[in-house]
Structure 1
Amino acid sequence: MKDAVVSMKEVGGRTLRVATWRLDEPSDHPPILFFNGIGANIEAVAPLAAALSERAFIMFDMPGVGESPDPVVPYNPFTISWTASQLLNALDVDEVDVMGISWGGGIAQHFTMQHPGRTRRLVLIATSAGMLMIPGSPKALSKMANPRRYVDADYMIKNFETLYGEGLGKTSGKKSHMSLLKPPSPRGYMYQLLCMLGWTSAPALPFLLRKKTLIMMGDDDAIVPLANGKFLSWLIPNSEMVVMKGGGHLFLLSHKDESVKAIREFLDAVPSEIELEEAA
Protein backbone atom coordinates (compact mmCIF):
# COMPACT_ATOMS: atom_id res chain seq x y z
CA MET A 1 0.00 0.00 0.00
CA LYS A 2 1.81 3.03 -1.29
CA ASP A 3 2.29 5.87 1.21
CA ALA A 4 0.34 4.11 3.99
CA VAL A 5 1.71 3.97 7.52
CA VAL A 6 0.81 0.53 8.88
CA SER A 7 1.22 -0.46 12.51
CA MET A 8 -0.19 -2.72 15.22
CA LYS A 9 -1.91 -0.76 17.98
CA GLU A 10 -3.34 -1.74 21.36
CA VAL A 11 -6.75 -0.07 21.43
CA GLY A 12 -9.47 -0.59 24.02
CA GLY A 13 -8.10 -3.96 25.05
CA ARG A 14 -7.74 -5.18 21.45
CA THR A 15 -4.77 -5.41 19.11
CA LEU A 16 -5.60 -3.95 15.71
CA ARG A 17 -3.68 -3.56 12.48
CA VAL A 18 -4.13 0.10 11.56
CA ALA A 19 -3.31 1.96 8.36
CA THR A 20 -3.21 5.72 7.98
CA TRP A 21 -2.54 7.93 4.99
CA ARG A 22 -1.27 11.53 5.18
CA LEU A 23 -2.29 11.89 8.82
CA ASP A 24 0.75 14.04 9.63
CA GLU A 25 0.28 16.34 6.64
CA PRO A 26 -1.51 19.71 6.90
CA SER A 27 -5.01 19.65 5.39
CA ASP A 28 -8.14 21.76 5.22
CA HIS A 29 -10.21 18.60 5.56
CA PRO A 30 -10.86 16.27 8.49
CA PRO A 31 -9.53 12.72 8.09
CA ILE A 32 -11.80 9.96 6.79
CA LEU A 33 -12.51 7.06 9.15
CA PHE A 34 -13.41 4.08 6.95
CA PHE A 35 -15.22 0.89 8.02
CA ASN A 36 -14.70 -2.01 5.62
CA GLY A 37 -17.01 -4.78 4.43
CA ILE A 38 -17.29 -8.15 6.13
CA GLY A 39 -14.10 -10.21 5.95
CA ALA A 40 -12.28 -7.53 3.95
CA ASN A 41 -8.81 -6.34 4.90
CA ILE A 42 -7.36 -2.84 4.60
CA GLU A 43 -5.82 -3.50 1.19
CA ALA A 44 -9.26 -4.02 -0.40
CA VAL A 45 -10.14 -0.31 -0.09
CA ALA A 46 -6.62 1.16 -0.14
CA PRO A 47 -7.15 2.40 -3.74
CA LEU A 48 -9.86 4.77 -2.46
CA ALA A 49 -7.47 6.22 0.11
CA ALA A 50 -4.94 6.79 -2.67
CA ALA A 51 -7.54 8.44 -4.94
CA LEU A 52 -8.72 10.93 -2.29
CA SER A 53 -5.17 12.24 -1.98
CA GLU A 54 -6.14 15.60 -0.45
CA ARG A 55 -7.47 13.90 2.69
CA ALA A 56 -6.03 11.84 5.50
CA PHE A 57 -7.44 8.32 5.80
CA ILE A 58 -7.78 5.93 8.74
CA MET A 59 -8.66 2.24 8.38
CA PHE A 60 -8.19 -0.85 10.52
CA ASP A 61 -8.60 -4.59 10.12
CA MET A 62 -11.42 -5.90 12.28
CA PRO A 63 -10.40 -8.52 14.88
CA GLY A 64 -9.55 -11.75 13.09
CA VAL A 65 -9.51 -10.05 9.68
CA GLY A 66 -6.45 -9.22 7.61
CA GLU A 67 -3.56 -9.12 10.06
CA SER A 68 -5.47 -8.18 13.22
CA PRO A 69 -5.29 -11.06 15.75
CA ASP A 70 -8.37 -13.14 16.48
CA PRO A 71 -10.87 -11.59 18.89
CA VAL A 72 -10.82 -13.16 22.35
CA VAL A 73 -14.43 -12.20 23.04
CA PRO A 74 -17.26 -11.21 20.67
CA TYR A 75 -17.99 -7.59 19.90
CA ASN A 76 -21.03 -5.62 18.80
CA PRO A 77 -21.66 -2.27 17.04
CA PHE A 78 -21.48 -0.37 20.34
CA THR A 79 -18.17 -1.85 21.49
CA ILE A 80 -16.46 -1.65 18.08
CA SER A 81 -17.60 1.98 17.70
CA TRP A 82 -16.14 2.70 21.13
CA THR A 83 -12.91 0.98 20.07
CA ALA A 84 -12.79 3.17 16.95
CA SER A 85 -13.20 6.27 19.13
CA GLN A 86 -10.30 5.09 21.29
CA LEU A 87 -8.21 4.68 18.14
CA LEU A 88 -8.97 8.28 17.19
CA ASN A 89 -7.82 9.32 20.66
CA ALA A 90 -4.58 7.39 20.20
CA LEU A 91 -4.04 9.09 16.83
CA ASP A 92 -4.87 12.51 18.32
CA VAL A 93 -7.80 13.01 15.92
CA ASP A 94 -10.85 14.90 17.15
CA GLU A 95 -13.24 15.03 14.15
CA VAL A 96 -13.65 12.77 11.11
CA ASP A 97 -15.77 12.22 8.07
CA VAL A 98 -17.11 8.67 8.46
CA MET A 99 -17.47 6.20 5.60
CA GLY A 100 -18.57 2.57 5.50
CA ILE A 101 -19.23 -0.03 2.84
CA SER A 102 -21.68 -2.94 3.11
CA TRP A 103 -21.25 -4.50 6.61
CA GLY A 104 -19.07 -1.52 7.50
CA GLY A 105 -21.91 0.82 6.53
CA GLY A 106 -23.87 -0.47 9.51
CA ILE A 107 -20.93 0.22 11.82
CA ALA A 108 -20.54 3.67 10.24
CA GLN A 109 -24.18 4.47 11.04
CA HIS A 110 -23.77 3.27 14.60
CA PHE A 111 -20.51 5.17 15.13
CA THR A 112 -22.10 8.38 13.85
CA MET A 113 -25.05 8.07 16.22
CA GLN A 114 -22.87 7.02 19.16
CA HIS A 115 -20.22 9.69 18.56
CA PRO A 116 -21.95 12.63 16.84
CA GLY A 117 -19.48 15.09 18.30
CA ARG A 118 -16.64 13.41 16.42
CA THR A 119 -18.46 13.07 13.09
CA ARG A 120 -18.76 15.85 10.51
CA ARG A 121 -20.36 14.01 7.57
CA LEU A 122 -21.29 10.43 6.72
CA VAL A 123 -20.94 8.41 3.49
CA LEU A 124 -22.80 5.08 3.25
CA ILE A 125 -21.84 2.75 0.39
CA ALA A 126 -23.83 -0.31 -0.74
CA THR A 127 -25.35 -0.80 2.69
CA SER A 128 -28.63 -1.09 4.59
CA ALA A 129 -30.36 -0.45 7.91
CA GLY A 130 -29.28 -3.87 9.20
CA MET A 131 -31.81 -6.62 9.92
CA LEU A 132 -34.67 -4.49 8.58
CA MET A 133 -33.49 -4.71 4.99
CA ILE A 134 -34.70 -5.86 1.61
CA PRO A 135 -32.66 -9.03 1.09
CA GLY A 136 -30.53 -9.72 -1.94
CA SER A 137 -30.87 -12.75 -4.18
CA PRO A 138 -30.77 -16.07 -2.25
CA LYS A 139 -28.08 -17.33 -4.64
CA ALA A 140 -25.80 -14.38 -3.82
CA LEU A 141 -26.51 -14.42 -0.07
CA SER A 142 -25.75 -18.14 0.24
CA LYS A 143 -22.33 -17.55 -1.27
CA MET A 144 -21.84 -14.37 0.76
CA ALA A 145 -22.20 -16.36 3.99
CA ASN A 146 -19.56 -18.87 2.89
CA PRO A 147 -16.05 -17.90 4.09
CA ARG A 148 -14.68 -20.09 1.31
CA ARG A 149 -14.99 -17.01 -0.93
CA TYR A 150 -11.93 -15.62 0.88
CA VAL A 151 -9.99 -18.87 1.07
CA ASP A 152 -10.52 -20.40 -2.37
CA ALA A 153 -9.54 -18.13 -5.28
CA ASP A 154 -11.16 -20.41 -7.87
CA TYR A 155 -14.43 -20.38 -5.91
CA MET A 156 -14.33 -16.59 -5.66
CA ILE A 157 -13.70 -16.04 -9.37
CA LYS A 158 -16.31 -18.63 -10.36
CA ASN A 159 -18.98 -16.93 -8.24
CA PHE A 160 -17.81 -13.35 -8.56
CA GLU A 161 -20.57 -12.23 -10.90
CA THR A 162 -23.23 -13.80 -8.66
CA LEU A 163 -21.75 -12.17 -5.57
CA TYR A 164 -20.97 -8.74 -6.87
CA GLY A 165 -23.09 -8.13 -9.95
CA GLU A 166 -22.16 -7.47 -13.52
CA GLY A 167 -20.76 -4.07 -12.59
CA LEU A 168 -17.46 -5.71 -11.63
CA GLY A 169 -18.04 -9.37 -12.43
CA LYS A 170 -17.41 -8.85 -16.17
CA THR A 171 -14.37 -6.64 -15.84
CA SER A 172 -10.71 -7.56 -15.75
CA GLY A 173 -10.59 -5.86 -12.35
CA LYS A 174 -11.96 -8.89 -10.54
CA LYS A 175 -8.64 -10.75 -10.55
CA SER A 176 -6.69 -7.71 -9.39
CA HIS A 177 -9.23 -7.20 -6.59
CA MET A 178 -8.82 -10.86 -5.59
CA SER A 179 -5.07 -10.31 -5.21
CA LEU A 180 -5.76 -7.68 -2.51
CA LEU A 181 -7.88 -9.98 -0.32
CA LYS A 182 -6.56 -12.02 2.57
CA PRO A 183 -8.80 -14.68 4.13
CA PRO A 184 -10.19 -13.85 7.58
CA SER A 185 -9.83 -16.46 10.29
CA PRO A 186 -12.90 -18.66 10.88
CA ARG A 187 -13.39 -17.03 14.29
CA GLY A 188 -12.90 -13.53 12.89
CA TYR A 189 -15.46 -14.15 10.15
CA MET A 190 -17.96 -15.71 12.56
CA TYR A 191 -17.64 -12.86 15.06
CA GLN A 192 -18.26 -10.33 12.30
CA LEU A 193 -21.43 -12.16 11.32
CA LEU A 194 -22.54 -12.31 14.97
CA CYS A 195 -21.74 -8.62 15.53
CA MET A 196 -24.71 -7.43 13.48
CA LEU A 197 -27.09 -10.24 14.42
CA GLY A 198 -30.39 -8.63 15.41
CA TRP A 199 -29.04 -5.09 14.89
CA THR A 200 -30.97 -2.46 12.99
CA SER A 201 -30.56 1.30 12.81
CA ALA A 202 -34.06 1.90 11.40
CA PRO A 203 -35.91 3.05 14.56
CA ALA A 204 -33.07 5.39 15.57
CA LEU A 205 -32.09 7.00 12.26
CA PRO A 206 -34.85 9.64 12.05
CA PHE A 207 -34.05 10.89 15.54
CA LEU A 208 -30.35 10.25 16.18
CA LEU A 209 -28.65 10.61 12.80
CA ARG A 210 -28.71 14.31 12.01
CA LYS A 211 -25.45 14.50 10.09
CA LYS A 212 -25.35 15.34 6.40
CA THR A 213 -25.28 11.93 4.73
CA LEU A 214 -24.47 10.64 1.24
CA ILE A 215 -25.98 7.26 0.32
CA MET A 216 -24.32 5.53 -2.63
CA MET A 217 -25.92 2.47 -4.23
CA GLY A 218 -25.57 0.33 -7.35
CA ASP A 219 -28.69 -0.55 -9.32
CA ASP A 220 -27.31 -4.04 -10.09
CA ASP A 221 -26.35 -5.01 -6.54
CA ALA A 222 -27.36 -8.62 -5.86
CA ILE A 223 -26.33 -8.48 -2.19
CA VAL A 224 -27.76 -5.12 -1.02
CA PRO A 225 -30.46 -4.13 -3.54
CA LEU A 226 -31.07 -0.49 -4.40
CA ALA A 227 -34.31 -0.43 -2.39
CA ASN A 228 -32.23 -0.48 0.80
CA GLY A 229 -30.61 2.81 -0.14
CA LYS A 230 -34.02 4.35 -0.79
CA PHE A 231 -35.16 3.13 2.63
CA LEU A 232 -32.11 4.74 4.28
CA SER A 233 -32.72 7.96 2.39
CA TRP A 234 -36.30 8.01 3.67
CA LEU A 235 -35.15 7.42 7.25
CA ILE A 236 -32.19 9.85 7.40
CA PRO A 237 -33.46 13.46 7.44
CA ASN A 238 -30.39 15.23 6.01
CA SER A 239 -29.46 12.77 3.26
CA GLU A 240 -29.00 12.54 -0.49
CA MET A 241 -28.54 9.51 -2.73
CA VAL A 242 -26.39 8.73 -5.75
CA VAL A 243 -27.08 5.63 -7.87
CA MET A 244 -24.34 4.05 -9.97
CA LYS A 245 -25.92 2.77 -13.17
CA GLY A 246 -24.90 -0.83 -13.82
CA GLY A 247 -23.06 -0.93 -10.51
CA GLY A 248 -22.89 -4.15 -8.54
CA HIS A 249 -21.89 -4.52 -4.91
CA LEU A 250 -18.36 -3.33 -5.66
CA PHE A 251 -19.23 -0.28 -7.77
CA LEU A 252 -16.68 1.57 -5.64
CA LEU A 253 -14.11 -0.28 -7.77
CA SER A 254 -15.92 -0.78 -11.08
CA HIS A 255 -17.14 2.85 -11.10
CA LYS A 256 -14.12 4.26 -9.33
CA ASP A 257 -13.91 7.65 -11.08
CA GLU A 258 -17.65 8.32 -10.70
CA SER A 259 -17.57 7.21 -7.06
CA VAL A 260 -14.57 9.35 -6.13
CA LYS A 261 -16.14 12.36 -7.87
CA ALA A 262 -19.42 11.93 -5.97
CA ILE A 263 -17.64 11.49 -2.63
CA ARG A 264 -15.38 14.49 -3.18
CA GLU A 265 -18.26 16.77 -4.24
CA PHE A 266 -20.28 15.74 -1.20
CA LEU A 267 -17.46 16.21 1.30
CA ASP A 268 -16.44 19.55 -0.26
CA ALA A 269 -19.97 20.99 -0.39
CA VAL A 270 -20.65 24.24 1.45
CA PRO A 271 -21.73 23.56 5.06
CA SER A 272 -25.45 23.67 5.70
CA GLU A 273 -27.05 25.96 8.28
CA ILE A 274 -27.38 23.00 10.66
CA GLU A 275 -23.68 22.19 10.31
CA LEU A 276 -22.69 25.81 10.89
CA GLU A 277 -24.85 25.90 14.03
CA GLU A 278 -23.22 22.71 15.32
CA ALA A 279 -19.75 24.07 14.61
CA ALA A 280 -20.57 27.25 16.53
Structure 2
Amino acid sequence: MTLPGVREREGDLVDVDGRRMRVRVEGEGPPLLLLNGLTRPLESWEPVTRALTGRTVVSFDAPGVGSSPTPRLPLSMSALARLAVSVLDAVGLDDADVLGFSHGGAVAQQLAVDAPERVRRLVLVSTSCGIGATPADQGALRGLLPRPAAHPWPWPDSVGTLWRILAISCWSSIPFLGAIRVPTLVVCGARDRMVPATNSALLARRIPGARLVVLPAGHDLQRAGQAGSLVEIVEPFLAGRVLREPRLVSA
Protein backbone atom coordinates (compact mmCIF):
# COMPACT_ATOMS: atom_id res chain seq x y z
CA MET A 1 0.00 0.00 0.00
CA THR A 2 1.33 3.44 -0.86
CA LEU A 3 -0.01 6.92 -0.24
CA PRO A 4 0.58 9.61 -2.87
CA GLY A 5 3.30 11.89 -1.58
CA VAL A 6 4.57 9.40 1.03
CA ARG A 7 7.76 7.54 0.19
CA GLU A 8 7.39 3.98 1.38
CA ARG A 9 10.77 3.63 3.08
CA GLU A 10 11.85 7.15 4.03
CA GLY A 11 8.47 8.63 4.84
CA ASP A 12 7.59 12.16 3.86
CA LEU A 13 6.02 15.26 5.35
CA VAL A 14 2.30 15.33 4.64
CA ASP A 15 -0.61 17.41 5.91
CA VAL A 16 -2.29 15.77 8.89
CA ASP A 17 -5.17 17.79 10.30
CA GLY A 18 -3.42 21.04 9.45
CA ARG A 19 0.01 19.93 10.68
CA ARG A 20 3.02 18.83 8.68
CA MET A 21 3.96 15.36 9.89
CA ARG A 22 6.32 12.70 8.62
CA VAL A 23 4.39 9.54 7.80
CA ARG A 24 5.58 6.19 6.46
CA VAL A 25 3.39 3.46 4.93
CA GLU A 26 4.93 0.12 4.00
CA GLY A 27 3.93 -3.46 3.31
CA GLU A 28 0.69 -5.16 2.32
CA GLY A 29 -2.01 -6.75 4.43
CA PRO A 30 -4.17 -5.85 7.42
CA PRO A 31 -3.21 -2.39 8.71
CA LEU A 32 -1.15 -1.83 11.84
CA LEU A 33 -0.62 1.65 13.29
CA LEU A 34 2.57 2.09 15.35
CA LEU A 35 2.87 4.78 18.05
CA ASN A 36 6.41 5.74 19.07
CA GLY A 37 8.15 6.21 22.38
CA LEU A 38 8.85 9.61 23.93
CA THR A 39 11.87 10.70 21.88
CA ARG A 40 11.80 8.11 19.12
CA PRO A 41 11.26 8.69 15.41
CA LEU A 42 9.64 6.16 13.13
CA GLU A 43 13.05 4.58 12.39
CA SER A 44 12.91 3.10 15.88
CA TRP A 45 10.32 0.61 14.61
CA GLU A 46 12.53 -0.89 11.91
CA PRO A 47 13.59 -4.00 13.89
CA VAL A 48 9.88 -4.69 14.51
CA THR A 49 8.72 -4.00 10.96
CA ARG A 50 11.46 -6.24 9.55
CA ALA A 51 10.14 -9.10 11.69
CA LEU A 52 6.47 -8.53 10.81
CA THR A 53 4.92 -10.31 7.84
CA GLY A 54 1.77 -9.64 5.87
CA ARG A 55 0.97 -6.19 7.30
CA THR A 56 0.42 -2.69 6.02
CA VAL A 57 2.41 -0.78 8.62
CA VAL A 58 1.73 2.90 9.27
CA SER A 59 4.21 4.84 11.40
CA PHE A 60 4.83 8.53 11.91
CA ASP A 61 6.91 11.07 13.76
CA ALA A 62 4.74 12.75 16.37
CA PRO A 63 4.94 16.56 16.57
CA GLY A 64 8.35 17.53 17.94
CA VAL A 65 9.90 14.14 17.20
CA GLY A 66 12.10 13.17 14.28
CA SER A 67 11.24 15.22 11.21
CA SER A 68 7.81 16.45 12.34
CA PRO A 69 7.92 20.12 13.37
CA THR A 70 7.56 21.03 17.04
CA PRO A 71 4.25 22.70 17.93
CA ARG A 72 4.28 26.14 19.53
CA LEU A 73 2.32 24.84 22.52
CA PRO A 74 2.12 21.39 24.13
CA LEU A 75 -0.52 18.95 22.94
CA SER A 76 -2.60 16.98 25.43
CA MET A 77 -2.77 13.20 25.33
CA SER A 78 -6.28 13.51 23.86
CA ALA A 79 -4.91 15.78 21.14
CA LEU A 80 -2.12 13.30 20.39
CA ALA A 81 -4.73 10.52 20.13
CA ARG A 82 -6.78 12.66 17.73
CA LEU A 83 -3.66 13.16 15.61
CA ALA A 84 -3.24 9.38 15.41
CA VAL A 85 -6.82 9.16 14.11
CA SER A 86 -6.00 11.90 11.60
CA VAL A 87 -3.00 9.88 10.39
CA LEU A 88 -5.38 6.98 9.66
CA ASP A 89 -7.60 9.42 7.77
CA ALA A 90 -4.63 10.77 5.82
CA VAL A 91 -3.65 7.30 4.60
CA GLY A 92 -7.23 6.31 3.84
CA LEU A 93 -7.81 3.76 6.60
CA ASP A 94 -11.11 3.38 8.45
CA ASP A 95 -9.49 1.39 11.26
CA ALA A 96 -6.34 -0.52 12.19
CA ASP A 97 -4.71 -2.63 14.82
CA VAL A 98 -2.76 -0.31 17.11
CA LEU A 99 0.58 -1.00 18.82
CA GLY A 100 2.01 1.63 21.15
CA PHE A 101 5.41 1.56 22.83
CA SER A 102 6.14 3.43 26.09
CA HIS A 103 4.77 6.99 25.64
CA GLY A 104 3.04 5.73 22.49
CA GLY A 105 1.32 3.08 24.58
CA ALA A 106 -0.24 5.83 26.67
CA VAL A 107 -1.47 7.56 23.51
CA ALA A 108 -2.83 4.19 22.34
CA GLN A 109 -4.87 3.83 25.54
CA GLN A 110 -6.40 7.26 24.97
CA LEU A 111 -7.07 6.42 21.33
CA ALA A 112 -8.83 3.16 22.25
CA VAL A 113 -11.28 4.92 24.55
CA ASP A 114 -11.78 8.08 22.46
CA ALA A 115 -12.18 6.38 19.07
CA PRO A 116 -12.85 2.66 19.66
CA GLU A 117 -14.38 2.32 16.20
CA ARG A 118 -10.93 3.03 14.71
CA VAL A 119 -9.09 0.37 16.77
CA ARG A 120 -9.40 -3.31 15.86
CA ARG A 121 -6.99 -4.75 18.41
CA LEU A 122 -4.71 -2.99 20.89
CA VAL A 123 -1.15 -3.87 21.91
CA LEU A 124 0.42 -1.93 24.80
CA VAL A 125 4.19 -2.41 25.12
CA SER A 126 6.39 -1.22 28.01
CA THR A 127 3.88 1.43 29.05
CA SER A 128 1.86 2.69 32.01
CA CYS A 129 -1.26 4.48 33.15
CA GLY A 130 0.52 7.82 33.64
CA ILE A 131 -0.35 9.38 37.02
CA GLY A 132 -0.65 6.52 39.51
CA ALA A 133 2.07 4.43 37.88
CA THR A 134 5.01 2.85 39.65
CA PRO A 135 7.83 5.32 38.88
CA ALA A 136 11.02 4.61 36.99
CA ASP A 137 14.28 3.72 38.65
CA GLN A 138 16.10 7.06 38.83
CA GLY A 139 19.18 5.63 37.18
CA ALA A 140 17.08 4.48 34.23
CA LEU A 141 15.88 7.99 33.41
CA ARG A 142 19.14 8.63 31.56
CA GLY A 143 17.76 6.28 28.93
CA LEU A 144 15.10 8.82 27.98
CA LEU A 145 17.59 10.43 25.59
CA PRO A 146 19.14 8.31 22.82
CA ARG A 147 22.88 7.83 22.66
CA PRO A 148 24.12 9.23 19.34
CA ALA A 149 26.45 6.29 18.82
CA ALA A 150 23.69 3.78 19.49
CA HIS A 151 21.08 4.92 16.95
CA PRO A 152 21.33 6.75 13.61
CA TRP A 153 18.22 8.76 14.48
CA PRO A 154 17.70 12.51 14.41
CA TRP A 155 18.47 14.01 17.82
CA PRO A 156 15.12 14.78 19.53
CA ASP A 157 14.04 18.39 19.79
CA SER A 158 14.31 19.42 23.44
CA VAL A 159 11.12 21.51 23.36
CA GLY A 160 9.21 18.71 21.65
CA THR A 161 10.43 16.27 24.30
CA LEU A 162 9.36 18.68 27.05
CA TRP A 163 5.89 19.04 25.51
CA ARG A 164 5.38 15.27 25.48
CA ILE A 165 6.61 14.92 29.06
CA LEU A 166 4.17 17.64 30.12
CA ALA A 167 1.33 15.85 28.33
CA ILE A 168 1.79 12.56 30.16
CA SER A 169 2.73 14.12 33.51
CA CYS A 170 -0.80 15.50 33.94
CA TRP A 171 -2.64 12.50 32.47
CA SER A 172 -3.90 9.19 33.83
CA SER A 173 -5.76 6.35 32.17
CA ILE A 174 -6.89 4.80 35.46
CA PRO A 175 -10.36 6.43 35.32
CA PHE A 176 -11.13 4.96 31.89
CA LEU A 177 -9.24 1.67 31.63
CA GLY A 178 -12.44 -0.24 32.37
CA ALA A 179 -14.06 1.43 29.35
CA ILE A 180 -11.55 -0.02 26.87
CA ARG A 181 -13.50 -2.74 25.08
CA VAL A 182 -11.24 -3.70 22.19
CA PRO A 183 -9.19 -6.92 22.49
CA THR A 184 -6.01 -5.93 24.30
CA LEU A 185 -2.56 -7.46 24.74
CA VAL A 186 -0.17 -5.97 27.31
CA VAL A 187 3.54 -6.81 26.91
CA CYS A 188 6.47 -5.79 29.10
CA GLY A 189 9.96 -6.80 30.14
CA ALA A 190 10.50 -8.34 33.56
CA ARG A 191 13.68 -6.27 33.97
CA ASP A 192 12.22 -2.96 32.81
CA ARG A 193 13.62 -0.19 35.04
CA MET A 194 12.09 2.65 33.02
CA VAL A 195 8.49 1.44 33.22
CA PRO A 196 8.45 -1.35 35.83
CA ALA A 197 6.43 -4.45 34.99
CA THR A 198 3.95 -3.73 37.81
CA ASN A 199 2.55 -1.02 35.54
CA SER A 200 1.68 -3.52 32.84
CA ALA A 201 0.10 -5.78 35.44
CA LEU A 202 -2.13 -2.90 36.52
CA LEU A 203 -3.21 -2.23 32.93
CA ALA A 204 -4.01 -5.89 32.34
CA ARG A 205 -6.08 -6.06 35.53
CA ARG A 206 -8.08 -2.92 34.73
CA ILE A 207 -8.74 -3.46 31.00
CA PRO A 208 -11.54 -6.02 30.56
CA GLY A 209 -10.28 -9.26 29.05
CA ALA A 210 -6.71 -8.01 28.57
CA ARG A 211 -3.88 -10.53 28.30
CA LEU A 212 -0.51 -9.90 29.99
CA VAL A 213 2.76 -11.31 28.67
CA VAL A 214 6.04 -10.65 30.51
CA LEU A 215 9.23 -11.23 28.53
CA PRO A 216 12.69 -11.83 30.05
CA ALA A 217 13.91 -8.43 28.91
CA GLY A 218 14.23 -4.78 29.83
CA HIS A 219 12.35 -1.73 28.59
CA ASP A 220 13.41 -1.57 24.96
CA LEU A 221 11.41 -4.31 23.28
CA GLN A 222 11.72 -2.42 19.97
CA ARG A 223 15.43 -2.97 19.59
CA ALA A 224 17.16 -5.59 17.48
CA GLY A 225 17.46 -8.78 19.50
CA GLN A 226 14.17 -8.21 21.32
CA ALA A 227 11.89 -7.22 18.45
CA GLY A 228 11.67 -10.79 17.16
CA SER A 229 10.38 -12.07 20.51
CA LEU A 230 7.88 -9.23 20.63
CA VAL A 231 6.59 -10.01 17.15
CA GLU A 232 6.26 -13.72 18.03
CA ILE A 233 3.74 -12.67 20.67
CA VAL A 234 2.04 -9.86 18.76
CA GLU A 235 1.39 -11.55 15.40
CA PRO A 236 -0.80 -14.41 16.66
CA PHE A 237 -2.72 -12.02 18.91
CA LEU A 238 -3.47 -9.69 16.01
CA ALA A 239 -4.56 -12.69 13.92
CA GLY A 240 -6.91 -13.85 16.68
CA ARG A 241 -4.95 -17.05 17.30
CA VAL A 242 -4.08 -18.63 20.64
CA LEU A 243 -0.83 -17.14 21.89
CA ARG A 244 2.25 -19.29 22.08
CA GLU A 245 4.51 -18.55 25.01
CA PRO A 246 8.17 -18.78 23.93
CA ARG A 247 10.85 -17.49 26.27
CA LEU A 248 8.41 -16.10 28.80
CA VAL A 249 8.98 -15.35 32.48
CA SER A 250 5.28 -15.22 33.33
CA ALA A 251 1.94 -14.38 31.83
Q: TM-score with structure 2 length normalisation?
A: 0.88
Whole-angstrom distance in 2 between the partners of 1:18 and 1:232:
29
Answer yes or no: is 1:46 the counterpart of 2:16.
no
| C-alpha distance in structure 1 between counterparts of 2:105 and 2:83, whole Å | 16
Paired position in structure 1 for 2:201: 230
Partner of 1:97: 97
Q: Deviations over 1:113-162 (max 9, x none)?
A: 11100111000000011111011212213x246xxx33x63xxxxxxxxx
Between the aligned partners of 1:82 and 1:64, the Cα distance in structure 2 is 16
Over 6 Å off, 4+ runs = none
Measured in 2, the distance between the counterparts of 1:64 and 1:91 equals 21
Query: Do the aligned partners of 1:20 and 1:59 also contact (CA within 8 Å) in 2?
Result: yes
Amino acid at match of 1:199: W
What code does the residue aligned with 2:163 have?
Y
| Match 1:252 to one of 219, 222, 225 | 222
In structure 2, what residue type is equivalent to 1:252?
Q
1:203 to 171, 175, 179: 175
Structure 1 pair 3–57 and aligned structure 2 pair: CA distance change class (3 A): same
Measured against aligned partners, the alpha-carbon deviations of 1:4-23 in whole angstroms (never above 9, x if no partner) come to: 2611111122110111112x
Where does residue 221 of structure 1 map in the other structure?
192
Matches within 5 A, 1:43-192: 43-141=43-141, 143-144=142-143, 149-150=145-146, 153=148, 178-192=150-164
| Deviation at residue 270 of structure 1 after TM alignment | 4.9
1:13 corresponds to which residue?
A: 18
Verify the 8 A CA contact 1:44 1:180 in the aligned structure 2. Answer: no
For 2:51 and 2:112, locate their aligned partners in 1 and report how far apart those are by CA, in whole Å. 24
Three-state SS of the structure 1 residue aligned to 2:222 is helix
| CA positional deviation for 1:71 | 1.1
Fraction of identical pairs, as percent: 32
* More helix, by proportion: 1
Unpaired runs of 5+ residues, structure 2, are 1-6, 243-251
Q: Which has the larger radius of gyration?
A: 1
SS where residue 237 of structure 1 aligns?
A: coil
Structure 1 gaps, min length 5: 154-174, 272-280
The residue number in structure 2 matching 1:239 is 210
